[in-house]
Amino acid sequence: MLDHNELTLKTINDLLTMSFFIPAYQRGYRWSARQVIELLEDVYEFCDRKIKVDEDFYCLQPVVVKQRGEQWELVDGQQRLTTILLILGYFNSRFAEDFRKQLYTLEYETRPESREYLVSLDENKRDQNIDFHFIFEAYSNIRAWFKDKVHRINDIESVFLNKVKIIWYQLAEAENVTDVFTRLNMGKIPLVNAELVKALFLKSSNFSSAGQTVRYLQQLNIAQEWDAIEKRLQDDAFWYFVSNQPIASNRIEFVLALAARKLSSEGILEHDKLKVFLQFNKQLQNNDNEVDVVKEWLKIKQCFMTLEEWFNDKALFHLVGYLVSQKVAVETIFDLSETCKSKYAFRQNLIEQIFVKTFANKNLNDVSKALIEAELSELNYETDAKKIRSILLLFNIASLLANPITNSRFQFNKYKQDNWDIEHIRSVASDMPRDKNKQIKWLENVVDYISDVNTIHIEERSTGNSETSHAIKKDATELVKTDFNDQQFEAIYLRILSFYDPGGDNIVDNSIGNLTLLDSTTNRSYKNAVFPIKRSKIIALDKEATFVPLCTKNVFLKYYSKQVDKMLYWESKDSQDHQQAMIHSLYGIFCGEGVHI
């Protein structure tokens, strides 16, 4: 009696004497011509490789089965096994009946005639039902594919029988096959590396040398630690620290891939989707040495513990998190950490990596405020948006690291999930909305701002300003109710800009000092809004405890401005002060003064 899910690799040859039962809850055969041809092409590519190693094999996706008397109940993999059976049938068709190989059988609970049709493949019956139609179409595509490969058919058959392997995933006696089928198919979630590796580590045979009680405790310990790691990785704050991908499940595969990077991949195709599983399978089945499964599991656990250590260390959290956000592979960071003799050395190496990534062809030893200022002054919104975005992010990281007291951490999960990007602090006059819906939205934003007494700054409360703002509100409200034209909108647009952004029609300031990070929702809604409206929206988000990057909030509160005499306006001197604050923060992180543990 099987008490744990077990998995092995089986060649097609290993299946030939078997009988499979396909229960009523499964639909009929439905593979398309493309899927059939892709399978044949993949095997042919494997067969035709110039460099061959005896241990090499081509691995198919898992087949999930459960013992059912003398048969195997086929829970998942019907489509693959049906296609393989058709291909084997084509190989057999070359010979007289007495010389044909025995093939495995597929028996259907609700479609018993399909078993016979897989043998006869009678063209006259192809349209009797939809299953026959798809089966015959697949077989026709197989015959057509082999038409110009007759001279290679023996080689292809040999590879198919001996070098094509399936992952044989046998369910434990206690497993409910309907539940497993539903999980795998209703959500279209195949067995992946994570589930296969878990089953591999929990195989009873891995613990055969231990007593029954010890074996049970070892299995239980691995299972519990596996679940704890998976649970931790489901925390988005942790996940988006080490990853940029919005993966919802099987996040532990990320850790498995880290641990597998040092395992042998000899005989495994580089692009194989199940490469990680095959690496661990090869390691645990090593015939030269008795592999200690508990020690192999410990290596995986240590990879995770390293990530957790980085996450819990304020400096490493921000430095590693920043590099990951810039698409530096975690494997590269792991390799770097292993070359460092201390945490301090690792931290300094990370800072150097960030410097090189930020200022190409520059040496960290030559860092100075003048160098950073020269680099930042050359950046322009029109041509350097990607680099500006990374520097604005680094500005936030540097600002948080510079404060030795606060425990505030950058929310990489919110930054990545909300899709923050760069935007002008002072809107560009030439960016007047052209679309009618956007024009209406722009006017509504102005009306909402003026209507909200909580957002009106003291500078607007003087008699003249108050009268002007209310006149603007009245005219904008009335215009929205009419079928206005572009000329009418442009007139009130320029009028609003002249009140809230005098001088806004000057040369556009595309320098980094006039740029900040805005989330995509705010950016779309208020892209062309004047400074006080953007400012009020950012303050509102912060009041609601919605994530706003520290430096974005500081910009709209004018914390970086040396003379705060006009809170409603963003002027060129404010841009210059903002840029100087960036230079100071970046210099702090690169010279070592601005990184506090």
Residue 428: pLDDT band with limits 50, 70, 90:
low
Contact 104, 122 (CB under 8 A): no
* Type of residue numbered 462: S
* Type of residue numbered 397: I
What pLDDT digit, counting tens, does each position of 462-479 carry?
A: 555 778 888 888 888 888
Residue 210: pLDDT band with limits 50, 70, 90:
low
Q: How far is CA 325 from the centre of its chain?
A: 12
Task: Give the alpha-carbon dihedral of 47, 50, 55, 57, to 10 degrees.
Answer: -30
d(CA 179, CA 194): 19
What pLDDT digit, counting tens, does each position of 393-416 carry?
A: 999 999 999 987 778 899 999 999
Confidence at residue 596, expressed as pLDDT on a 0 to 100 scale = 55
What is the per-residue DSSP string for 243-285? --S---S-THHHHHHHHHTTS--TTS-TT-TTHHHHHHHHHHT
d(CA 157, CA 150): 11
d(CA 452, CA 447): 9
Q: Identify the weakest region by mean pLDDT among 60-74, 128-142, 152-166, 492-506.
A: 492-506
Closest CA to 1 of 169, 167, 211, 174: 174
Confidence at residue 377, expressed as pLDDT on a 0 to 100 scale = 94
Matching residue, tokens 């819906």: 437
Confidence at residue 195, expressed as pLDDT on a 0 to 100 scale = 83
Give the angle 7-9-14 at the CA atoms, nearest 5°: 115
- Please report the sign of the dihedral spanned by the C-alpha atoms of residue 208, residue 211, residue 213, residue 219: negative
Q: How far is CA 553 from the centre of its chain?
A: 28
Average pLDDT in the chain: 86
What pLDDT digit, counting tens, does each position of 160-172 carry?
A: 999 999 989 998 8
* Type of residue numbered 153: I
Per DSSP (E only), the strands in 328-478 are 420-424
The better pLDDT of the pair 324, 53 is held by 324
Closest CA to 75 of 25, 4, 130: 25
Closest CA to 431 of 523, 511, 516: 523
- pTM of the predicted structure, to 2 decimals: 0.75
Matching residue, tokens 């040859």: 13
**DSSP code of residue 288:** S
Confidence at residue 309, expressed as pLDDT on a 0 to 100 scale = 97
Confidence at residue 204, expressed as pLDDT on a 0 to 100 scale = 60
Matching residue, tokens 């209703």: 186
Residue 340: pLDDT band with limits 50, 70, 90:
very high
Confidence at residue 475, expressed as pLDDT on a 0 to 100 scale = 87
Tokens of 515: 């740029």
Q: How far is CA 80 from the centre of its chain?
A: 28
Matching residue, tokens 């493949």: 121
The strand pairing partners of 108, in sequence order, are 22
Give 60's contacts (C-beta < 8 A, 6+ positions apart). 80, 164, 165, 166, 167
d(CA 557, CA 536): 10
d(CA 232, CA 71): 40
Contact 116, 99 (CB under 8 A): no
The better pLDDT of the pair 106, 220 is held by 106
Contact 414, 407 (CB under 8 A): no
What pLDDT digit, counting tens, does each position of 304-317 carry?
A: 999 999 999 999 99
- Please report the sign of the dihedral spanned by the C-alpha atoms of residue 185, residue 188, residue 194, residue 196: positive
Tokens of 162: 């001996």
